[in-house]
Structure 1
Amino acid sequence: MRNAINKYFCLQNSSIFLFLSLLFHHTLLISGNSPSLLIDNITLDCGSASEGHARDGRIWTADANSTFLLLDPTNASKISSTLKSPMNDAVPYITARLSRFEFTYVFPVTFGTKFIRLYFYPSSYPDFSSSIPFFSVKANRYTLLSNFSSAPNAQDAGLDGFVKEFCLNVEDGETLNITFAPIPGVTDAYAFVNGIEIASMPTKLYYTDEGFKFVGSWNNESSLESNTALELMYRINVGGQFIEPQNDTARMFRSWNSDDEYLSIAKPSALLYNNTIQLIYRNNMTHFAAPDGVYQTARSMGMDKKTNENYNLTWDFQVDSKFTYLVRLHFCEIQPPITKTGDRIFYIYIATQIAESKADVIEWSGGNGFPVFKDYAVTIEPKGNERVQNISIALHPRPEISVYSDAILNGLEIFKLSNADNLAAPNPDITPINPPTAATPSPKSTKSNNNLV
């Protein structure tokens, strides 16, 4: 998630601001190639004293003596290099800013919706090797992380460095303040960060006042307004391979992971691939929703009609209890036989509840090769003291009303929605965590016998 063009605009007067705002909105019109989002494209290499160049070609600005950093001189933070080399990109993971006191970055950005990506590399740092990295992170009024420790996140992902991604709206006249604070009352606790990325996004990429289904609710209608902050939980290229950030649409630098490790029932499923199909996007939001690679691949149930009618193609995703989640499902019919309404109709279940009883991608999109996405909201109610639960996504055919006994999914995203300006998961028990040793990610075991179609 690194940007080849590190442009930051500090707007000094309203006339320049108006001009750039209009330019930004015009940039979002569909052209032959995906346009770049020019406003508020910041990549800050925390703890670095010199400009850094990432493997993908993006330039990261050093934060030493940065005007973005607001420090209390009596409680100054430190910059440091890790005692062990990261296995992935050196920039921005090789350096960090650390402190046993609160420290804040102030970004004078334009108003509108932003991606905020925080880069963490849990490791030993000079003067902090035996301390406890439990801390909180706030962005303006939103609590993004609380009692957060980076080491378990890296271990769970099988990586030594990782990114936490958030979305929020900056109101007109606001700056974007990001504050890191060690948890109070814990001796030698400290906060740290290796990199901060801020990128503008299309205004209605995820936020919309148009109604979408609230699964399991009597009201059954929901909308996502700009006063809600989001945390990315999962972004999946279903049936396809990992898509690197530099290959994302409109240089928004989103990562799209493979779905293999999340499959829980697939007996067997089929991998669909069509890189010659001419994708037709009906509007800007569909065009920016996902890169072509998401819509050119998919997973279906397979070619055995009898088998398909006796199982649900299912994925499971672990999430925090007591929050509502936005589930975005991406669809595109890429198989030549599926060309008209009624060819492939199926159920969609989210968290074991019916989200759609007659899902028909052709009816939604308008034809073969037309990408479309559907949004749903679901609340994960607490069960006893369980801090985490699963959201399941399941598909099942409707052979009685369709030509083919099958179902399809191209991609999905799951976002946690802020609750009273809070995105932090239930606080974990605070115990000292030894820095993990660098480990090569173990091969993922696929739970299905996939057929490539």
Structure 2
Amino acid sequence: MRTTSNRNRNHILVSFATIFLLLSNATHAENNNGPNSLVLSCGSSDAIKDESDGSTWQPDAKYLVVDDKSTSVKAEIQDPSLPSVIPYMTARTFQSQSTYQFPLQNSTSRTLLRLHFYPSSYPNFNISNSYFSVVAGGGVTLLNNFSASLAAEALSQAYFIKEYYLAPSQFPTLNLTFKPSDNSFAFINGIELISMPPLFDTDPTLAGTGGSDDDFDAAVTIPIQSSSMETMFRLNMGGQYISPTNDSGGLMRSWYDDSLYIYGAANGVAVEANATVGYKGLPSYIAPIDVYSTYRSMGAFKDVNKNANLTWIFQVDPNFMYLLRFHWCDSEMTKPNQRVFDVFINNKTAASQVDLYAWTGSIATPTIKDYVVQVNNKSAGDSQQQLWVALHPNDKTKAEFVDVLLNGLEIFKLSDNAKSNLAGPNPTISDMMKKYQQAQLAPITFQAQDKSSNSNLLITGAAAIGVAAAAVFLFAYSNKKRDPKGEGATTWLPISWNSNSTTIKSSSVSGRSQGGGTSISTDAACNCRYFSLTEIKNATKNFDESNVIGVGGFGKVYKGVVDGDTKVAVKRSNPSSEQGVNEFQTEIEMLSRLRHRHLVSLIGFCEDNGEMILVYDYMGLGTLREHLYKGNKITLSWKQRLEICIGAARGLHYLHTGAKYTIIHRDVKTTNILLDDKWVAKVSDFGLSKTGPNMNQGHVSTVVKGSFGYLDPEYFRRQQLTEKSDVYSFGVVLFEVLCARPVLNPSLPKEQVSLADWALRCARNKTLGDIIDPQLKDKVSQECLNKFIDTAEKCLADHGVDRPSMGDVLWNLEFALQLHDNPEDKRAAGSGKTGSVDLDHIDQDKIDHNSLIAMHRNTLNLVDDDDVFDDDDAIKKGDEDIFSQIVNPKGR
């Protein structure tokens, strides 16, 4: 088996962010109306208050000092992904060179400039023909022959924001000039200017000089006071997305999850601070406190760490110098020489023997360091280049722990002092992106009848897969061209445009054309590949029964082959059933936005001729369940079982903490943990999943759904869903893995029918060894077994508040694996004890600091019938009643 993407797929998906900072969902708080800021809605004739955040956007006309021919226009289409109509639904177009002039509150400080672009459809303007340059201040070229349409297409989002830090000026005003290219036009939707505090007041060190401990005096600093900058990346390492409204200093910056940029499989662990973090002299505007309250480290595996790096890779424009700002705050170490590491940028030593406690002199104290590096072409034909950041434990000082950490990272492109240039080339779509788009990159026309005006609404665009890192959306919609035989080429499009309904209505809300049938958001549908029914039939040999690999939900799962040699799993609903629509929609909405090593990838869907079909990566080794019970294919070793549980825990932890909103799976069980041909576990089936846009309440009130045997009793009683409901279900999975028996077995005595109840009773009575899988007898160390059982027990606590988080569960499982591989390594067990550790009730006066270090490490990355087993452990009924089930042992 192989997946449909290579191991660097995530890096490809986010490579376009190297040119544009993905500031999606940016909002503008009331500070935008303060004395040090100016926000303009270009093309608007009046001041407009944005009700979503209370900010007021001013009209731009009075700031135009050179304007031979500009036009105010309104967008014809409101993309659903727009965070607000302001400033995106109006624009100012320029058909000749035009200049804005803005007053500067403080010309001696840098000015933060943001340019908002929404390359949509405007009356009398073909946005794909727009090419222009933008020059700021004393001749700094920000954009050159720039196409916002190509940029949005490559970024796969409807709108984007360019962010710059302009060098201090000797003048009290700032000029911003738009220059259309020949026979073209320029446009802009919104402009923000904020007078900056002294964010860059120290010259950075050139990487490769002064990095070694023997040659520190040779450090070379690069003067940047006269350089302007463009923001390329801003990441919160090991933490979640931080929105502009939660930024510090009123700067309205967005901080993104770093996991998509991590190189290789060594993702490290995401850690939350176990000490109170304060700025302690560092200006609060440097970064929000949340950046310093989480970090990414390598973890507790000493023997592995000493031969490895924690590495991130970024795509950048070549032939520029880049400033990298490292944000550090070590909330664990209490003395020098406990954690010491080196920093490399493009294989150049930026810093050697970094000891954060020695640097700051105290625990949980934030600090920053700036370094610069020159990035050149590999060859004359390269349009983009890679920027590598690697951290490696330093062994020269014989530090107590072999580990590294990083809290945050910002990367800025520096202007060329000689040319005063920041402009890079227009972005291009990668080969991987082209493959996903099936080579249909040319704009496609979809015509919908607008009944209110009896005119045709023309929608053009190019479809593309979305960038997972920032929840961004497609520039415009595209329709699937069909030939009379229905065998048109594949493209990407909203699901409703392929329904059986022949009536297409124009939405008065967004201008989006909507058809009958299933309702899928545009961004979700466009981030998936659309398959015609003909393609699906060809892939599965017309749904040949010999290709059935599972029976689940409302239909069967088939093995298929697309694009010549790519194996896929095709989940087909029963065409005669009208049920499962919600699960079908939810599966697409969830998985189209998620990409993680331990989540099954959704490739695409088909909604054609009454069919509801989902296409996934093919998982060659099937479900976890079928490798546990008698008659299983292969007897799993204890290490394999641990590694599978760890992989599944990583996927669930990502759902709970790695996305913008908490995602609760709601149907965690061993049939929803699939295995690829390398035994990598992936969580699947998101048809019942729920997302909480506001988890401040701590729960989502919802009708109880799930699978009996795995169902959280607190959720069942209170009908209030939390992420701890997934933790309970995962605890059942852990006991299922340990005992290799079904979670419900009616053939057993009453007290033994439920595995969860029986396992807890045996654990309390110290008789759990009697029900453990006999295949594991004498093959598991007692320390490892104790840790595993203790973790499973805590997951099954009756009240969610008493259960650990998935991050804590993950850490415990990784520690159990470490105890299995290295029984003598008890670093994480505190004072050499191998007993369980209560992560939720810690008396900090009674445990040593090393225990705290270990305990707070964690990683980033009811159906109507229950599952009932007969004497042969085969499923008798139940899973037929849930659509979101890729593989079921009954079908094998």
TM-score by length of 2: 0.44
| Greater strand fraction, Structure 1 or Structure 2 | 1
Shift of 1:72: 3.0
- C-alpha change, 1:214 and 1:99, in structure 2 (3 Å) is same
Pairing of 1:234-253 with structure 2 (within 5 A): 234-253=233-252
Shift of 1:130: 5.7
Pairing of 1:63-78 with structure 2 (within 5 A): 63=60, 66-73=61-68, 75-78=69-72
Pairing of 1:92-111 with structure 2 (within 5 A): 92-110=87-105, 111=107
- C-alpha change, 1:54 and 1:389, in structure 2 (3 Å) is farther
Pairing of 1:373-452 with structure 2 (within 5 A): 373-384=368-379, 385-400=381-396, 401-419=398-416, 420-426=419-425, 435=461, 436-438=475-477, 439-440=522-523, 442-446=592-596
Decide which structure has the larger Cα Rg and report it. Answer: 2
Shift of 1:138: 0.8
2:224 match = 225
Total equivalences in the alignment: 410
2:173 match = 175
Distance in 1 (CA, whole Å) between partners of 2:315 and 2:153 is 15
Q: Deviations over 1:405-440 (max 9, x none)?
A: 1100000000000012110114679x9976442551
Shift of 1:45: 0.8
Distance in 2 (CA, whole Å) between partners of 1:371 and 1:267 is 25
- C-alpha change, 1:445 and 1:116, in structure 2 (3 Å) is same
Identity score, percent: 36
Q: Tell me whether 270-279 or 400-409 shows the greater mean CA deviation.
A: 270-279
Indicate if the aligned counterparts of 2:102 and 2:175 stay in contact, CA closer than 8 A: yes
2:44 match = 48
1:35 match = none
Q: Which amino acid aligns with 1:68?
A: Y
Indicate if the aligned counterparts of 2:277 and 2:289 stay in contact, CA closer than 8 A: no
- C-alpha change, 1:77 and 1:101, in structure 2 (3 Å) is farther
Distance in 1 (CA, whole Å) between partners of 2:361 and 2:156 is 41
Shift of 1:368: 1.4
- C-alpha change, 1:54 and 1:239, in structure 2 (3 Å) is farther
Q: Tell me whether 410-419 or 128-137 shows the greater mean CA deviation.
A: 128-137
2:255 match = 256
Shift of 1:371: 0.2
Q: Which amino acid aligns with 1:380?
A: V
2:83 match = 89
2:301 match = 304
- C-alpha change, 1:164 and 1:104, in structure 2 (3 Å) is same
Q: Which amino acid aligns with 1:303?
A: A
Distance in 2 (CA, whole Å) between partners of 1:393 and 1:153 is 26
Indicate if the aligned counterparts of 1:54 and 1:92 stay in contact, CA closer than 8 A: no
Indicate if the aligned counterparts of 1:52 and 1:62 stay in contact, CA closer than 8 A: no
Indicate if the aligned counterparts of 2:329 and 2:364 stay in contact, CA closer than 8 A: yes
Q: Which amino acid aligns with 2:309?
A: N
Q: Which amino acid aligns with 1:206?
A: F
- C-alpha change, 1:86 and 1:268, in structure 2 (3 Å) is closer
Indicate if the aligned counterparts of 1:305 and 1:406 stay in contact, CA closer than 8 A: yes
1:26 match = none
Q: Which secondary structure does the structure 1 equivalent of 2:365 belong to?
A: coil
Distance in 1 (CA, whole Å) between partners of 2:343 and 2:147 is 36
2:346 is equivalent to residue 351 of structure 1: yes
Indicate if the aligned counterparts of 2:295 and 2:405 stay in contact, CA closer than 8 A: yes
Q: Which secondary structure does the structure 1 equivalent of 2:116 belong to?
A: strand
1:5 match = 30
Shift of 1:237: 0.6
Shift of 1:444: 4.4
Q: Tell me whether 125-134 or 271-280 shows the greater mean CA deviation.
A: 271-280
Shift of 1:268: 4.3
Indicate if the aligned counterparts of 2:67 and 2:99 stay in contact, CA closer than 8 A: no
2:206 match = 214
Distance in 2 (CA, whole Å) between partners of 1:300 and 1:192 is 44
Shift of 1:280: 3.8
- C-alpha change, 1:277 and 1:41, in structure 2 (3 Å) is same
Indicate if the aligned counterparts of 2:128 and 2:149 stay in contact, CA closer than 8 A: no
Distance in 2 (CA, whole Å) between partners of 1:378 and 1:264 is 19
Indicate if the aligned counterparts of 1:93 and 1:194 stay in contact, CA closer than 8 A: yes
Q: Deviations over 1:190-232 (max 9, x none)?
A: 11111100001113x1243x4x320135964123433111000
1:320 match = 317
Distance in 2 (CA, whole Å) between partners of 1:262 and 1:192 is 32
Shift of 1:103: 2.0
| Greater helix fraction, Structure 1 or Structure 2 | 2
Distance in 2 (CA, whole Å) between partners of 1:116 and 1:163 is 10
1:367 match = 362
Q: Which amino acid aligns with 1:247?
A: N
2:484 is equivalent to residue 334 of structure 1: no
1:149 match = 147
Q: Which secondary structure does the structure 2 equivalent of 1:261 belong to?
A: helix
- C-alpha change, 1:116 and 1:268, in structure 2 (3 Å) is closer
Distance in 1 (CA, whole Å) between partners of 2:32 and 2:322 is 33
- C-alpha change, 1:360 and 1:82, in structure 2 (3 Å) is farther
- C-alpha change, 1:357 and 1:76, in structure 2 (3 Å) is closer
- C-alpha change, 1:95 and 1:367, in structure 2 (3 Å) is same
Q: Which amino acid aligns with 2:280?
A: Y
Q: Which amino acid aligns with 2:233?
A: Y
Q: Which secondary structure does the structure 2 equivalent of 1:154 belong to?
A: helix
Shift of 1:162: 1.1
Q: Tell me whether 83-92 or 94-103 shows the greater mean CA deviation.
A: 83-92
Q: Tell me whether 105-114 or 193-202 shows the greater mean CA deviation.
A: 105-114
Distance in 2 (CA, whole Å) between partners of 1:135 and 1:148 is 5
Shift of 1:80: 2.3
2:691 match = none
Q: Which secondary structure does the structure 1 equivalent of 2:152 belong to?
A: helix
Distance in 2 (CA, whole Å) between partners of 1:289 and 1:180 is 31
Q: Deviations over 1:267-289 (max 9, x none)?
A: 241111137613242243xx321
Pairing of 1:8-23 with structure 2 (within 5 A): none
Indicate if the aligned counterparts of 2:259 and 2:267 stay in contact, CA closer than 8 A: no
Q: Which secondary structure does the structure 1 equivalent of 2:167 belong to?
A: strand
Shift of 1:257: 0.9
Q: Deviations over 1:141-176 (max 9, x none)?
A: 110011111233334444211110000134243311
Shift of 1:2: 4.1
2:57 is equivalent to residue 60 of structure 1: yes
The answer to which structure, 1 or 2, has the higher relative contact order (CA under 8 A, 6+ apart) is 1
Distance in 2 (CA, whole Å) between partners of 1:383 and 1:305 is 35
Distance in 1 (CA, whole Å) between partners of 2:80 and 2:53 is 16
Distance in 1 (CA, whole Å) between partners of 2:192 and 2:104 is 12
- C-alpha change, 1:155 and 1:428, in structure 2 (3 Å) is closer
Indicate if the aligned counterparts of 2:127 and 2:149 stay in contact, CA closer than 8 A: no
Indicate if the aligned counterparts of 1:326 and 1:375 stay in contact, CA closer than 8 A: yes
Shift of 1:95: 1.4
Q: Which secondary structure does the structure 2 equivalent of 1:316 belong to?
A: strand
- C-alpha change, 1:207 and 1:147, in structure 2 (3 Å) is farther
RMSD value over aligned CA atoms?
A: 2.4
- C-alpha change, 1:447 and 1:323, in structure 2 (3 Å) is farther
Indicate if the aligned counterparts of 1:78 and 1:99 stay in contact, CA closer than 8 A: no
Q: Which secondary structure does the structure 2 equivalent of 1:251 belong to?
A: coil
TM-score by length of 1: 0.84
Name structure 2 gaps, 5 residues minimum. Answer: 1-25, 211-217, 429-440, 444-459, 462-474, 478-521, 528-591, 599-646, 651-809, 811-856, 859-892
Indicate if the aligned counterparts of 1:166 and 1:232 stay in contact, CA closer than 8 A: yes
Distance in 2 (CA, whole Å) between partners of 1:7 and 1:309 is 48
Indicate if the aligned counterparts of 1:331 and 1:372 stay in contact, CA closer than 8 A: yes
Indicate if the aligned counterparts of 2:341 and 2:352 stay in contact, CA closer than 8 A: yes
- C-alpha change, 1:391 and 1:45, in structure 2 (3 Å) is same
